Amino acid sequence: MAGPIYLILWSMCGAHFLNDLLQSLISAIFPILKDSYHLDFTQIGILALAFQITASLFQPAVGMYTDKHPTPWALAVGMGSTLIGLVLLSTAGSYYALMFAAAMVGTGSAIFHPEGSRVVRMASGGKLGTAQAIFQVGGNFGQAAGPLLAAFVIVPIGQHGVIWFAGVALLAIAVLLWIGRWYAERVKIEGKRARAAGADGAPDLSRNRVIFIISILLIMMFSKSFYTSSLSTFYTFYLMEKFQLTLRDSQLYLFLYMASVAAGVYFGGPLGDRFGRKYIIWFSILGALPFTLALPYANLWGSAILTVIIGFIMSSSLSQIVVYAMELSPRRTGMLTGLFLGFAFGMSGIAAVALGKIADHYGLTFVYQICSITPAIGVLCWFLPELSQVRKLTR
């Protein structure tokens, strides 16, 4: 098998960077919207849900459709939906208009991620973990850059400053149109190769066993999403409330956390290829537990250090969970990617609403106290087989 096509992989990394940078602007401007529209934390959580639930519901459906009908231009169309959402977000005059704008951005995400993962798999050259990590790290750096840019561009201007990022969406559309041309040619080649090869390389596992494994992986994704939602949605509020930081300073601390997430995603991919995906997933979930338990009781610098460690450890399995699922059924790449990333978005949105309600009644410190135990769910990784060993036994 030929090696990875790095031009395509890094182009998709760049497109993912731009896509998630734009998406992260929604959570980055929550403090501005809270003051401008006099929102409580529950309403902030509902805004997060409007974005994340559309991404959650649509991603598996998009992936299922494109598994049977590859759509090379869908990437650019998805970015077009994000562009519309940004324009509406910058001009919205009511809470319901903000919800609709967030839903449009979520729709763009629902289209981009399953199709983006399909392109990355085609360009992987067999190094699935490394390729997926390159793709995912672009998104995580985009999520890290969003709060930083919001602090210096949107905070001084206000809500209307979001319109300056429309140019970023147009640049992303241009990149995705170019990738779409490569994708269209590759679809023809992959179709001929699949017909000639017959078997898809999936491990010889029963249907019930596959369903059980996918259920365990979804539980792992739930644990990650629930905890990371508490940081991505409420961390800036937590820092401002507990340590009296300014909005701009709290955004800088959020950037440090997001940057550590990006680093964890990048290093987790090659480590999964080298040592096995099961063990990286296990370490990523359960290994964060001591640090999440300590976070609610740390001072400002301790909080910064702990969130960097938590971000790095918990994110190292993101690409590994997705690739592990794809290896279970290689012909359902889009549907499985959409299922897992969509599930992550959905759980993050539901968690944002639930945690916002708790924060309104009991405070943000209590939120991090109850969230701190969720990584303990990682013990369920014991039931995941190492797929490379399954293949050896069935040959």
**Residue partners of 145: CB distance under 8 A and separation at least 6:** 17, 21, 24, 255, 258
Amino acid identity at 123: A
pLDDT of residue 10: 94
Cα torsion 147, 153, 159, 160: sign: negative
Domain 6-394's class?
Answer: mainly alpha
In the chain, where the domains are located? 6-394
How far apart CA 117 and CA 123 sit, in angstroms, is: 10
- Structure confidence by residue, pLDDT tens digits, 308-358: 999 999 988 877 888 888 888 777 777 777 788 777 767 777 788 888 889
Q: How far is Cα 275 from Cα 129, in angstroms, rounded to an integer?
A: 11
Task: Report residue 355 CA to chain centroid gap.
Answer: 19
Residue 387 CA to residue 378 CA, distance in Å, equals 18
Q: Which residue has the tokens 């929604």?
A: 26
Question: For residues 324 and 318, what is the distance between their CA atoms, to the nearest angstrom?
Answer: 10
Q: What is the value of pTM for the model shown? A: 0.72
Residue 188 has which token pair?
A: 């023809």
pLDDT in tens, 113-134: 888 888 988 888 878 878 888 8
For residues 21-25, average pLDDT: 85
**What six digits make up the tokens of 153?**
């561009």
Residue 264: closest CA among 121, 143, 114, 120: 143
Contact partners, residue 106, CB within 8 Å, separation at least 6: 50, 51, 52, 53, 54, 55, 58, 85, 345
